[in-house]
Structure 1
Amino acid sequence: MPKEREWLTFTDWGKTYGEVVYASLLGRSFIILNSPDAINELLEKRSANYSDRPVQMLAGELVGYSSFMPLARYGERYRQGRKIMTGALNPRETSFTRQIVTQKTAQFLSKLFYSPEDARLHIRWIVASIAFQITHGHAVESFDDPLVRVAEQCTHEFSFLASPGAYLVDLIPALRYLPAWLPGNGWKRKVHEWRENAERLRDAPYDFVRERMTKGMAGPSVTASLIEENPNHTVEEDTLFRYMTGSFYSGGADTTVSSIESFFMAMILYPDVQRTAQMELDKVIGRGELATWEDMAKLPYVKGLLSEVYRWNPVGPLALPRNVTNEDEYKGYRIPVGATIFGNSWGVLHNPSLYPDPFEFKPSRYSKADNELNPDPRLYVFGYGRRACPGKTLAEDTMFRVVTATLALFDISMPTDSQGRPIKPDTTFTGIIAHAPPFLCEVTPRFPNTNTLISQLTQ
């Protein structure tokens, strides 16, 4: 099994062996789904059989992420946690979350104006700020916030710990009993530290809210509501609440960071796309004005731009793997119980028969009337079936607000070196949540009074 950018290898396998590929390694079965039909039939229509997670010995069992929602096994405890999350992020009741997204976007624009060189840091700040405000009622003033540092550290560690095939102990669990000095077992020297960090992510934000509630200082949040609505909750329920609220950040924030970074990179590489989107915003909304939630239907090109961001660099190229609960059959293929299933979202979204010129960033592709081409990328970006992202609406709201506001007030361009040569970004996206290497960009105000416009938003 490949250890990095697995989706590229799996896509090549699909071209050679077909839409369903079977691989065996050390007695374990792996199945890769490379087509929309296979993904839809198995992960959506038969989701009851494909909603479990495989045991990940290092990230899940030894470090402890199996108790957080993204890696939790499918069962009653997972269903309870997901019910809480979907209730808290109800797409039909968005007034609370949209108010926070609007407020944080205004602050993001201000940061972008005063220190444009730190654009990537501001991206991470706004996503962290929205997540902590909604989940814990905590206003994140800077990226150096102690709760954010814990969450970011865990996000970083989870990204390499949970990568398929990264650690041999995931394939040979008995290696956990062998000493750290053996080749391939060096992870044992770090596992205690990683587990402590995961426990801090579970406890520190939750205890912060409880302490503020005791002092009568807690603002509205998902965590405060959970505690208030369940005053006599058991120790077991308290543990569930901790893991579930801790999962809001670990399960969703980094994906939104990836999407916003991809937007900035695309604007650097495709300036004509940026200008076309700005022209539409200027014409429909007004120069220097910000789009509202009701304006999306009036902005077909901007809507296509958002769709193309999701497709061009899908944040979860393979999603997280599934475990087969019962033996199954698909188009004559036997799918054994216990097999690990990957839905190759990246392969689907870069299939030229579905998306012509798949490596080009082309928002106009979604304006075509032919529904057989360029299907909605969101079908393959936010997860599948009973494991679909419960924060999908919040993520889309954040993207819409950040993208339209940034385009309305700023130009994003490619920087140059001291010799005037363009500094092109590296588009090698890697990781279980796909990120490109750090890149530079120039962010400049579009209007002489941009600062005044932003000041009016933040008052």
Structure 2
Amino acid sequence: MTDAEGFSGLAYVSGICFLLLASLTWLRQQRHRLPYPPGPSGLPVLGNTLQMPHERQWLQYVEWGKKYGKIIHLSVLGRSMIILNSADVIVELLEKRSKLYSDRPTIPLAGEMIGYDQYIALEHYGSRQTEGRKLITGALSVRNMPKLHQIEESKVVHLMSRLIARPVEFRLHLRWFVAAVAFEYTHAYQVEDCDDYFVRLAERVNNDFNTVVKPGKYLVDIFPFLKHIPGWMPGTKFKAVAKEARERVQRLADETFEVVQTRVADGTARASFTADLIEGNPERTPEEEDIFKTTSMTFYAAGTDTTVSTLESFFLMMTLHPEIQRNAQAEVDHVIGSDRLPKVSDRPRLPYVEGLIKEAFRWNPVFPLALPHYLNQDDVYEGYHIPANSTVIANSWAVLHDPSLYPQPFEVLPERYLQQEHGLNPDPKSFAFGYGRRVCPGQPLADDLVFIVAVTILATLNISQPIGADGLLVKPNVSCTGVALSHPGPFECAIAARSVEAEHQITHAASC
């Protein structure tokens, strides 16, 4: 090749590079000329800060959505917040463009000061977060699920026994069951009751988390510079809150890990998620050990509160809808019979029960608003400029109550997932466990726990409205409590064995 030819080729490549650079520059300029998504007008500097709801934010976002559309732009002290109110925009941005939207925003109190940003839920996207997810998804792989199913089926008979003995304490029994399964699988640790030291500590950590992630509750999340002012100054109560919460979450991670580590060292450890990590990595670095601790803690602590909430919703649904309970019981009786208790392996043959479980996840979603995502560079959607560094929030409640996806969205209709002539409603679990690369890795565990409890109750117990002192049925309260995480409000229900034979079956199974 001659020098002239070489120069000509270099000039051609350079020209192409110049055109690409010019095109990117033009696109960047055009993005900044595009409008933000619509939203309520705000004040100078403050933006929409004073308009942000403090309770049940998802409902306000739905109302704004009726006026401004499926994607809304808010400004909080100059920082952009993007609300996604429909399934199509959530799928397009958080699923199809997950590479751009997989990070979490920095939350000064919960993340930096308490340290929740070292745990998978709030951890920034990167190698550490990816490694933790891989550990959990591996533990919940198809190969490992039989062991988990064995634990679930063993513990659920004791749950039924407790429900029959003390039905008024059904919420307490649900908490015990979920904690008992989770601790057994992750640490081979036996939980006898909810007064267990680690259970109480885990619940304190969960309560801390649900409190400190509440938007706008602490000024330091709005004015991050406040974290640098001395703790003796007025208005710095958040520093004491952070110190106590940080100590609790660290104690929970350290002490539960140390229990298993001691057992491994003296040769008494039974097989568990944490024991496998310790035994399989004898030369682990301090950084690896920290990932093991935080992942183990996330495995049981993060999933217990959410799964209990879904089970509470199931109890409320059964209390309110005896006809649905009878339909589900009829299917269970037909498929399983009365000579044995249900197993997880029965699930594929129980489509109506499956629909009922999907409704438990949809009707009162545990996370009405998905944990926030963070956009790491400018983006464009349907002619709107979505600026880099935006906090992006998916309104899962809006999607799960969208009548175009779920007709009669406030009704409990298990058959909505069975009616082929109108097109099947989408599986709500696609919207209830997060999105994209931040979908909850513990979903298989939560899904299994809800199924085995629901199907065993349907096989052996009746849940109904209690009778009040006046002799009339007491209608349950259907309100919800919580901010980041939603629970059904306080309600009463009556629980009894379906038959003498069912009670004997439970008693026998529990004694084995």
Please, what TM-score do these two structures have when normalized by structure 2? 0.86
- Give deviations 1:398-444, integer Å, cap 9, x for gaps: 11110000111111111233222433333222321211223221111
Aligned to 1:437: 489
| 1:273 matched to 2:273 | no
1:34–1:347: 8 Å Cα contact kept in structure 2?
Answer: yes
In structure 2, what is the Cα distance between the partners aligned to 1:202 and 1:78? 16
SS in 2 for 1:23: strand
> What is the 5 A alignment of 1:3-402?
3-178=54-229, 185-287=236-338, 289-370=340-421, 372=423, 374-402=425-453
Q: What is the CA deviation profile of residues 367-416 of structure 1, one whole-angstrom value per residue up to 9, with x for unaligned ones?
A: 21156552111110111111111111111111111000011111111123
Secondary structure, counterpart of 1:218 in structure 2 = coil
Ranges in structure 1 where 5+ consecutive residues have no aligned partner: none
Report the alpha carbon displacement of residue 179 of structure 1 after superposing the two structures with TM: 5.7
- Inter-CA distance 24–48: structure 2 relative to 1 (3 Å threshold): same
Corresponding residue SS for 2:500: coil
Amino acid at match of 2:187: H
Given residue 316 of structure 1, which amino acid in structure 2 is its aligned partner? F
SS in 1 for 2:184: helix
Instruction: Provide the rounded CA distance (Å) in 2 between the counterparts of 1:446 and 1:383.
Output: 37
Q: CA deviation at 1:294?
A: 3.1
Separation of aligned partners in 2, 1:397 and 1:40: 25
Q: Distance in 2 between matches of 1:120 and 1:423?
A: 18
Structure 1 residues 157 and 288: CA distance shift in structure 2, 3 A? farther
Task: Kindly state the Cα deviation for residue 105 of structure 1 after the two structures are TM-superposed.
Answer: 0.8
- Whole-angstrom CA distance in 2 between matches of 1:130 and 1:225: 17
Counterpart amino acid of residue 74 in structure 1: Y
Question: How far off its partner does 1:136 sit?
Answer: 0.8
Name the CA distance, whole Å, in 1 between partners of 2:233 and 2:489.
Answer: 32
Q: Distance in 2 between matches of 1:179 and 1:170?
A: 16
Q: Kindly tell me: are residues 370 and 19 of structure 1, through their superposed partners in 2, closer, same or farther at Cα, counting changes over 3 Å?
A: farther
Distance in 2, Cα, partners of 1:180 & 1:287: 63
Letter paired with 2:151: I
The one-letter amino acid paired with 1:303 is: E
SS at match of 1:449: helix
TM-score by length of 1: 0.96
2:174/2:311 contact within 8 Å kept: yes
* Alpha-carbon distance, 1:183 to partner: 7.2
Change in Cα spacing, 1:372 to 1:22, as seen in structure 2 (3 Å) is farther
The verdict on how the C-alpha distance between 1:21 and 1:373 changes in structure 2, with shifts beyond 3 A counting, is farther
Given candidates 474, 480, 483, the residue that maps to 1:423 is 474
Aligned mates of 1:55, 1:5 — CA distance in 2: 22
For residues 169-208 of structure 1, the C-alpha deviation after alignment (integer angstroms, 9 at most, x for no partner) is: 1121112234668776432332221111111121111111
Q: 1:92 to 1:327 in 2, by over 3 A?
A: farther
- Which deviates the most, 134-143 or 409-418? 409-418
Shift in CA distance, 419/184, structure 1 to aligned 2, threshold 3 Å: farther
Mapped to 1, the partners of 2:349 and 2:136 lie a distance apart of 31
Shift of 1:116: 1.4
Residues 288, 450 of structure 1: 8 Å contact kept = no
Give, as a single letter, the amino acid of the residue that structure 1 aligns with 2:503: N
Higher relative CO (CA 8 A, sep ≥ 6), structure 1 or 2? 1
Q: Which deviates further from its counterpart, 67-76 or 275-284?
A: 275-284
Amino acid paired to 1:444: A
Most deviating of 337-346 and 83-92: 83-92
322-331 vs 185-194, which moves further:
185-194
Per the alignment, in what secondary structure is the counterpart of residue 71 of structure 1? Answer: coil
Report the AA paired with residue 498 of structure 2: R
Which residue is 1:2 aligned to?
Answer: 53
Structure having the higher Rg: 2
Deviation at residue 287 of structure 1 after TM alignment: 3.3
Task: Look up the equivalent residue of 1:7 and give its one-letter code.
Answer: W
Post-superposition shift, 1:4? 1.4
Name which of structure 1's ranges 447-456 and 104-113 shifts more when overlaid on structure 2.
447-456
1: distance between equivalents of 2:224 and 2:104?
A: 16
Contact kept? 1:290, 1:404, Cα under 8 Å: no
Matched position secondary structure for 1:291: coil
Q: CA deviation at 1:297?
A: 2.6
Encode CA deviations 1:296-342: one digit per residue, 9 max, x unaligned: 23222111111111110111111100111111111111111110011
Shift of 1:166: 2.4
* 1:95-146 per-position Cα deviation (integer Å, ceiling 9, x unaligned): 1111111111111111112221211100001111111111111011111111
What RMSD in Å do the two structures reach over aligned CA positions? 1.7
Mapped partners of 1:426, 1:92: distance in 2: 42
What number of residue pairs does the alignment pair up?
459
Structure 2 contact 73–83 (Cα < 8 Å) conserved: yes
Is 1:455 the counterpart of 2:507 in the alignment?
yes
- Percent identical among aligned pairs is 47
| Deviation sequence 1:339-379 (CA, Å, 0-9, x none) | 00111111001011211111111112222115655211111
Match in the other structure for 2:41: none
Whether contact under 8 Å (2:460, 2:503) holds in the other structure is no
Would you say the 8 A contact 1:288–1:408 is kept in 2? no
User: For 1:15-69, what per-residue CA distance to the aligned partner results, in whole angstroms no more than 9, with x for missing partners?
Assistant: 1111111100111110011111111111111111111110111111111111111
SS in 2 for 1:69: coil
Q: Which amino acid aligns with 1:132?
A: F
1:219-259 superposed Cα distances (whole Å, 9 cap, x missing partner): 11110000111000011111111111111123222111111
Letter in 2 for 1:60: G
